[in-house]
Structure formats: C-alpha cells, structure tokens
Amino acid sequence: MINDQAQSVPPVRDEAPSVTGSDVGRIVAGLLVLVFAGVTGLFAPLMVMASDSCSEGDARMICSAGTQQIVGGLPVGAAFVAALLAVVGMSSRHAGAVGCLLAAPGLLVLSWVVSLALAGS
C-alpha cells in the first residue's frame, strides 16, 4: 500500500554562503587589529620602566605610584577591549562591524598616546 498523501520533503541544498571581498577585508582588518592589540598588551606596559630613574622627592609625574599603575594597566585593558571589538567586527555582517573595526585601533592608539605622555612627563 502506497501512501499518496505523504508530506513532501524540501530538497537538501549543499550550498555554502558565498564569501565576498568585503568579508575577506573585514577578516584581514580584524586580524591586523588583533596583532596590534597583542603588541600593545605585551610591550606598552613596559613604559613603566621610565620610572627607573626616579629618586626620592622627584616631582615628575611618572614617579608617582598612581601614574605607574595607569601606565602599566591602561594598555592591557585597552588591548583586551580592542581584541573583543576586533572579534565582534570580524564575526558580524552588520553595519556596526565596521564601527567596531575602526574603534579598536583608535582605542589602542589612544592608550599608547596617554601612556607615552604620562611616561614622558
């Protein structure tokens, strides 16, 4: 006995979503930002060594403990946030992805500028 009233099953499609040039560009930009974040997180905190020449009573800004903590911690925090922004920017296809990929290096550059300004003063 054949069941003529069987439900039709939709065909299985074996198509992968196409990868466009903008997807590749977004991924390459995200990987570059991740490298920049890694370099920032590893090497920017070494600017605290600018305080090596501090002596007792030195009035330079880098000679205070609070400034040393900012110079050491700010780049690490900025690198972490920038890495998150880069991953979100690479994985999303929305308009906000480009904003994330633009904000991440801006955050890293800002952390370098602030740390260098504090270490140099």
What pTM does this model have? 0.76
How far is residue 69's CA from residue 89's CA, in Å, rounded to a whole number?
30
Q: What is the structure's pLDDT at 82?
A: 95
In tens, the pLDDT along 1-51 reads 566 665 666 777 767 666 566 788 889 999 999 999 999 999 888 888 877
pLDDT classification of 106: cutoffs 50, 70, 90: very high
- Measured between alpha carbons, how far is 121 from 63 in angstroms, rounded to an integer? 9
CA–CA separation, 117 and 121 (whole Å): 6
Taking a C-beta distance cutoff of 8 angstroms, is the pair 69, 119 a contact? no
Average pLDDT over residues 63-84: 92
Q: 47-69: per-residue pLDDT in tens?
A: 888 777 888 888 888 888 888 89
- Cα–Cα distance list, 47 to 57, 73, 104, 106 (Å): 21, 11, 21, 19
